[in-house]
Amino acid sequence: MLYTSLYYNPSVRSVALWLYFDAQSAFLQDANSLIMRTAELAQVVRFLKETLPSLTRITSYGRSKTAAKKSVEELKELHDAGLSRLHIGLETGDDKLLEYVQKGVTAEEHIKGGRKVKEAGISLCEYVMPGLGGRKMSKEHVEHTARVLNEIEPDYIRLRTLEVREGMPLLHKLQEGDFELQTEDEVVEEVGGLIERLNCQSELKSDHIINLLPEVEGKLPQDKRKMLATIKQYLALSIEERINFQLGRRMGYYERLEELQDAYKHEKVEQAIKRIEMEIPGGVEEALCDLKARFI
């Protein structure tokens, strides 16, 4: 009976799976663990290392504003204790847009915090949100985000395409007409514009289903041409083929753009498009919105 209750306990099961498959990495689950007193957070990290000697990486979320307020010496203390990497939500480098979405940080704070993390020897991953500027602020979003990333030179840049959900202040702006969402194609063009402007030594990752083109990733600057070629290839498709890929990607048929050439998968998606157009008010566009909302 005890064995059964432990087996179905989600926490126990998660730990068991972690021990079985890896037991080499740990993630501090909080939106901003960095806000703890440095000495206390260092103690937590050291305790993890001592208790679980198999750990090779300890990672946490953090905020640029918090990192900017820490001294480099404090961050080095965390690194020496065993903190390997920080994930920070940059979202955008445009000050007006940061204020518009109530991010609570400035571009200069992003730069200051990111540079301190790097100087301390901690691996840094910055998250960028394509589509966040909508149609009105897309140009500024791209230009200033590229500038900030080039100034920071994070180890990783991760793309997380915008998806507006209930509870977000941006939803109210969208409903009032003050904010206009971009199309999938416009977001792809925006990602291309960002990549063109990046001259930092970073690795770009597109490792989330919310991103349309997961193969647009690689090391900068050496893989820039390859990434831009994939974007150009997608945008050169006919509108019908782009819609087929969009729906097929969200339905799980396609992982990469080249799979659009798979006749069996292509036909399955075409059948789905015809069915959706007949059965769902709003057609494929509405279906895509519903599918993407499930990914967040």
Q: Which amino acid is at 172?
A: H
> CA end-to-end span of the chain, whole Å?
36
pLDDT < 70: residue spans in the chain? 1-8
CB 156 within 8 A of CB 126: yes
Which CATH superfamily includes the segment(s) 17-236? Aldolase class I (3.20.20.70)
The 3 state secondary structure assigned to the chain is: CHHHHHHCCHHHHHHHHHHHHCCCEEEECCCCHHHCCHHHHHHHHHHHHHHCCCCCEEEEEECHHHHHHCCHHHHHHHHHHCCCEEEEEEECCCHHHHHHCCCCCCHHHHHHHHHHHHHCCCEEEEEECCCCCCCCCHHHHHHHHHHHHHHHCCCEEEECCCCCCCCCHHHHHHHHCCCCCCCHHHHHHHHHHHHHHCCCCCEEECCCCCCCCCCCCEECCCCHHHHHHHHHHHHCCCHHHHHHHHHHHHHCCCCCHHHHHCHHHHHHHHHHHHHHHHHCCCHHHHHHHHHHHCCC
CA-based nearest residue to 248, from 238, 258, 22: 258
Rounded CA separation 141/100 (Å): 12
- pLDDT of the residue at 70: 97
- pLDDT of the residue at 16: 79
Other C-beta atoms lying within 10 Å of the C-beta of residue 167: 5
The 3 state secondary structure assigned to 74-125 is: HHHHHHHHCCCEEEEEEECCCHHHHHHCCCCCCHHHHHHHHHHHHHCCCEEE
- pLDDT of the residue at 7: 53
- pLDDT of the residue at 166: 85
**Domain ranges for the chain:** 17-236, 238-296
69-91: buried (b, 16+ CB within 10 Å) or exposed (e) per residue?
ebeeebbbbbbebbbbbbbbbbb
